[in-house]
Amino acid sequence: MSQPRVLLDEARWQTAVNLATRWIADGRAPAVTFVTGSLLKTSPVVSLGSQRTQQFQPLPETPIYLVASITKPIVATAALLLIERGRLALGDRVTEYLPEFGPNGKYGVEVRHLLTHTSGLPDMLPNNLDLRAANAPLSEFLKSVCAGPLAFPPGRGVQYQSTGFLVLAEIIARIVGKPCDQFLREELFQPLGMGDTILGATESWLTAQSSRIVEVRLDAQQQGGDHWNWNSRYWRQLGAPWGGLLTTADDLARFARCLLRGGRTEAGQMLLSPAAIAAATTNQLHFMREVPEDERRCRPWGLGWRLNWPAHSANFGDLLGPGTYGHWGATGTVMWLDPDRGVYAIILTSQPQEPGGQFLARLSNALAAAWC
């Protein structure tokens, strides 16, 4: 796939490094790792700070981060693979695969609504913290989603919904006859060589890799929840399809380069078709006539991917082109790709930055400006 030839300006790159270095020195985040690249050039991976939040511990050579909602477009990619193969369609109703999902006005929810945040499902369940405190399995979360109501009829509004990706993962599992995390491992992570990426850590994986996982600085809501918070064994093993992915900057860069190559691996294997990538990165809200006009025009969504919102600095920053797509994570992460310039950036931190992502936006600006 043809890409424009862009160069990484060393002085501007150093500006980004200096910015992150000051942030760590000021204590505004315990750790940050970032990388930017094109198909022809990849920057050094910069890792700064401490693996632990309460006492200094040097970061491992290749740190593993909990990337939170960057999980969502990864799970969406699994759905796209099934759409390519004729085993799923955006217009399919959820109840075709999950009959128990229908109560309380949810019969009309389609797969496209799950992927575009137009389902009317809640972001988090009202009993989310209770389920986590009880170390509940994903099946218990799913029961609560299926029993609950919608905030609005599907396709008539936009409400960011993590629960929709739990439902999507269950649809994928029922179609392929194996858990979504296993399907992702076999169909995406292994072909791309993403050997440090897992959704739902196994005991053996945790034994081997726990010394590389970076602790997240916990917000007030998660303080005291040592058996269920972001840093707990429970959360790392749960494999939440909306936010449980453990991965590295290097592995996400492999995924980004695959997308910029039109869905091909470095070895040339067609993993995801250009047609699927085009659909996933097109403003799907534009075609939903009952979605409010300001959402369709100013806050567009693709299929699992957030497109660029030029009047919204948070996380993505201010210097990205109109074709940019990506996602952010509540643990302090962001990933974006600008296919028009042929560049990408991945920023992983251990400092939650909701709702504004102010530092992520500033570092994103510096990385975007480094390409010329």
> Tell me: the pLDDT tens digits for 301-338?
999 999 999 888 989 999 999 999 999 999 999 999 99
Closest CA to 162 of 122, 128, 199: 122
Three-state DSSP state, 336: strand
Three-state DSSP state, 80: helix
Integer-rounded Cα Rg, in Å, for the chain is 20
Per-residue pLDDT tens for 166-218? 999 999 999 999 999 999 999 999 999 999 999 999 999 999 999 999 999 99
Q: Which pLDDT score, from 0 to 100, does residue 3 have?
A: 63
Q: Which two tokens stand for residue 233?
A: 């064994």
Q: Which pLDDT score, from 0 to 100, does residue 127 have?
A: 96
Q: Which pLDDT score, from 0 to 100, does residue 71 have?
A: 98
Residues 161 and 190 sit within 8 Å (Cβ to Cβ): no
Q: Which two tokens stand for residue 345?
A: 């950036």
As a whole number of angstroms, the distance between CA 132 and CA 347 comes to: 27
- Pick out the chain residues at pLDDT < 50: none
Q: What backbone phi and psi angles, to 5 degrees, belong to 344?
A: -145, 165
As a whole number of angstroms, the distance between CA 181 and CA 201 comes to: 10
Q: What backbone phi and psi angles, to 5 degrees, belong to 328?
A: -120, 170
* Cα-Cα end-to-end distance for the chain: 20
Q: Which two tokens stand for residue 134?
A: 């009880």
Three-state DSSP state, 4: coil
Angle at which helices 138-147 and 163-176 cross, to 10°: 110
Give the number of other CB atoms < 10 A from CB of residue 338: 23
Length of the chain equals 372
Q: Which pLDDT score, from 0 to 100, does residue 223 have?
A: 82
| Parallel, antiparallel or unpaired: strands 198-199 and 65-66 | unpaired
Can you name the residues that pair with 247 across neighbouring β-strands? 65
Q: Residue 65 is which amino acid?
A: Y
CA distances from 186 to 68, 251, 367, 368 (A): 21, 15, 32, 33
Three-state DSSP state, 47: strand
Residues 336 and 344 sit within 8 Å (Cβ to Cβ): yes
CA dihedral 147, 152, 155, 159 (to 10 degrees): -90
Give the number of other CB atoms < 10 A from CB of residue 202: 12
Is the C-alpha dihedral spanning 330, 331, 332, 333 positive or negative? negative
DSSP 161: -
Going through the chain in order, the beta strands assigned E by DSSP cover 31-38, 46-49, 65-66, 198-199, 245-247, 306-307, 325-329, 333-338, 343-349
Closest CA to 351 of 366, 329, 336: 329
